[in-house]
Amino acid sequence: MARKSGISSLPGLFGAILIIFPPGYVNGQEMGKPVSDTLTARKDAIDVVLHIIKKDSARTKKYSDKKFFFSLAPLAGGSGEQGLSLSSINASFYLGDPATTKMSNINFYPNTNFSSLFQFIIDPNLWASENRWNINGNFEISRIQQETYGMGSNTFPDSLLTIDFNQLRTYIEINRKILRNLFIGAGYKLDKYYNLDYDNETYPGSSIDYEYGTTGGSFSSGISFNLLYDSRKNPINSLQGLYTNAHLRISSPMFGSEYTWNSITLDIRKYFRFSRVRHRTLALWGLYWSTWGEVPYLDLPGSRLYPEGLSGRGYKRGRYRGKKMIYGEAEYRFDITNSGLLGAVMFVNVQSFSEPETENFEYLIPAGGIGLRLKFNKYSDSNITSDFAFGKNSFIWYVGLNEAF
């Protein structure tokens, strides 16, 4: 799963790239020669640094049989949404034989604007030996800001209302393999929103016309069940394979929840690889997310609010929301350099939310964009990502670590 942030400070990012990737290094590559699809032939940002300090051979010996890979990406800049500086820490490792076990990952995202806003997020995704068990989760403590415009897919800019709030999230799921690549599982989910502060100075008449979780906050607690199929080898940057997850969440006072509500998601992702030598992959993503009952406002489906991927690139978090959501995205990923050091993506997406009066999907919200990729660690296949996304009356630049889905 990827985390990204809108960035407003161009010099900080370009400065980091120039340090890691100095001018003239691409031209120094032997671009005309075919490069075999081996890790020693591939290049990443760490190789560039070792090349500069004349220690090229040290890493090959050190990493030849290694099962643990660590990446730290302190990405300079401030979020275009909430002024947050962004850093990403990734640990990738195998808990069994790499030939029969998927790569496990733990991602840590400590972000702050060094004032009133902060985020501390941990996303583990662990695969036991021979993929017998899978444990994944999402843990977050934050004080963040969201812009909201009300319900549905046809809201207007003059409905803007800014919300500052504290968030506490604990998600944990345990899945057991029942057939090859097929898992059944259960888990626990907790969401707490508190210390809500509203700012409608820009549009004084704006307000939220919704009953649940819009005053003092909300507390949701409950269990979940899911059926998972995952044939991907490396979830953080899939070259090929199929991922499907049917997920049911039940929040009830029986488990301490303030409100009674439920949600169901159907998440399908397919990856097509077009070259065994170069990275050329078409990634497709389809998502259906539906809620019913006394759903707190901040738990409703919304743009970029799906916890298992970066949906809705081109819009700010929460720009659109509703009780139901459908979403589709296509992204083409490819290498620019033969070594795989530099790459790029092109993507388009469309989303729609149910209207509050009819519960029907009546409007489509398109977006699209392009992005650059810098291979950060070739052993875990992690990338530093920079995406330029356009939506309806919207443009956002995202910087992060690993792919959107």
Structural domain spans, the chain: 3-401
CA distance 401 to 151: 31
**Secondary structure letter of residue 51 according to DSSP:** H
pLDDT of residue 201: 63
CATH topology for 3-401? Answer: Porin (2.40.160)
Distances (CA, A) of 22 to 14, 27, 42, 190, 374: 11, 11, 18, 45, 13
pLDDT of residue 31: 35
What are the residues facing 344 on neighbouring strands? 334, 372
CA distance 158 to 204: 9
- Residue 23 confidence class, pLDDT cut points 50, 70, 90: very low
pLDDT of residue 2: 55
CA distance 398 to 334: 18
- pLDDT exceeds cutoff 60 at 138: yes
- Residue type (1 letter), 130: E
Question: Could you tell me the pTM of the whole model?
Answer: 0.83
Residue that wins the pLDDT comparison between 376 and 269: 269
pLDDT of residue 19: 37
Mean pLDDT of the chain: 83
- Residue 81 confidence class, pLDDT cut points 50, 70, 90: low
Closest among 87, 28, 76, 88 to 52, alpha carbons compared: 28
pLDDT of residue 206: 56
Q: How many Cα atoms sit within 13 Å of 48 on the Cβ side?
A: 24
Residue that wins the pLDDT comparison between 289 and 30: 289
Across 348-366, average pLDDT? 95
- Residue 227 confidence class, pLDDT cut points 50, 70, 90: very high
Contacts of 199 (CB under 8 A, 6+ apart): 161, 162, 163, 164
Across 133-138, average pLDDT? 96
Q: In terms of DSSP bridges, do strands 280-293 and 324-335 run parallel, antiparallel, or are they unpaired?
A: antiparallel
Lowest-pLDDT choice from 79-83, 94-98, 157-161: 79-83
pLDDT of residue 125: 93
- pLDDT exceeds cutoff 60 at 11: no
Across 137-149, average pLDDT? 92
- Residue 77 confidence class, pLDDT cut points 50, 70, 90: very low
The region that residue 94 occupies, defined by phi over 0 for left and psi between -120 and 50 for alpha, beta otherwise, is: beta
pLDDT of residue 259: 95
- If DSSP codes are grouped into helix, strand and coil, which group holds residue 351? strand
| C-alpha torsion sign, points 2, 39, 239, 100 | negative
- Residue 320 confidence class, pLDDT cut points 50, 70, 90: very high
- pLDDT exceeds cutoff 80 at 236: yes
pLDDT of residue 326: 98
Lowest-pLDDT choice from 88-92, 191-195, 215-219: 88-92
Lowest-pLDDT choice from 93-102, 255-264, 345-354: 93-102
Q: Which two tokens stand for residue 210?
A: 């919704």
**Alpha-carbon Rg for the chain in angstroms:** 21
